[in-house]
Amino acid sequence: MYRCPECGSTNLEVVVEVWATLIQKGDGFETDTTTPTDANHEWGDNSAMRCRDCDAQEIAERFETDASDSPSSES
Ligand SMILES: [Zn+2]
């Protein structure tokens, strides 16, 4: 579970790395992120993460919380 360390929001964004087709045209380069179609979006504990509610930005590791920390009713 990932949760904003500042405001507790789970409305988050993370920077991902994705495989893209490299298109080389003369001296220029373009990337096509729509191919390959099986491209994995990769991110980890050191990826940048941002809270959409309060704009706090840290590495993902700082946002990780133990699921047991979440306020939930005891059953
Ligand atoms: Zn926040």
Note the pLDDT tens digit of each residue in 6-54. Answer: 999 999 999 999 889 999 999 999 999 888 887 778 999 999 999 999 9
For ligand 1, the distance from its centroid to the CA atom of residue 17, given in whole angstroms, is 23
| Number of domains the chain contains | 1
When pLDDT is averaged across residues 45-65 and rounded to a whole number, the result is 97
Strands (E), the chain: 12-14, 17-18, 21-25, 28-32, 41-42, 48-51, 57-59
For ligand 1, the distance from its centroid to the CA atom of residue 3, given in whole angstroms, is 8
Domain that holds residue 59: 12-69
Whether residue 4 lies inside any domain: the answer is no
For ligand 1, the distance from its centroid to the CA atom of residue 13, given in whole angstroms, is 11
Whether residue 7 lies inside any domain: the answer is no
Whether residue 6 lies inside any domain: the answer is no
Whether residue 5 lies inside any domain: the answer is no
For ligand 1, the distance from its centroid to the CA atom of residue 21, given in whole angstroms, is 34
